[in-house]
Amino acid sequence: MNIRYSNEWLRRKISADPDAEPAAGSAPEAIASENTAAVGERIAPQLRHGLAFFVRQLRCRADLTIPQLALVADVSEDDLRRIEHDPHFTAGARLIYQLSEYFSVPLTELSQMAGLTQEIDRAFFNEVMRYAAYSDGVSTLTEQQRAALDSFVALVHQRAKG
């Protein structure tokens, strides 16, 4: 059973103790609105596919291998491989927190991309899908891919500011 959390609850919980995984059953219920969509078993893998490209491209932009990123971000190599290659892998809250901190990417948006939240903003979902559609799994970024990545990172930061 996958437990999903509200964005605010997840941010508070991880910020309080990044090494602890949130306890099952302690997340509040989500209230969907016309601007949000429930993150279900169909949507979560789509989001994680976008997350895979995003993490891989951030890593490549930093010129890091998976083992190097694991070391500097203090995360498991296996978890990084799974996040980059398995859209059915549900990253733990600590992994998402560590990647958020290392890459200076807002936690709320990264949590939504990881499928850890109960709901996602519909406009952001569309942006993630658009980004994923124009990304690919190459190990070096072309100038166009780097520009797309930089634009998406800017969008994520802009969303976090409100």
Q: pLDDT for 116-131, tens place per residue?
A: 877 877 888 888 888 8
pLDDT digits (tens, 9 = 90+) for 26-48: 344 444 455 655 666 777 888 88
Beta carbons of 105 and 156 less than 8 angstroms apart: yes
Q: What is the DSSP letter of 121?
A: E
Q: Alpha-carbon distance 105 to 97, whole Å?
A: 9
Average pLDDT over residues 67-85: 96
Beta carbons of 56 and 137 less than 8 angstroms apart: yes
If one compares 75 and 1, the residue with the highest pLDDT of the two is 75
Task: Look at residue 15 in the predicted model and tell me its pLDDT.
Answer: 67
If one compares 127 and 8, the residue with the highest pLDDT of the two is 127
Instruction: Identify which of 121, 131, 161 has the alpha carbon closest to the alpha carbon of residue 52.
Output: 131
Task: Look at residue 145 in the predicted model and tell me its pLDDT.
Answer: 81
Using CA atoms, how far residue 112 sits from 11, 31, 50, 108, 160, in Å, is: 11, 15, 11, 6, 12
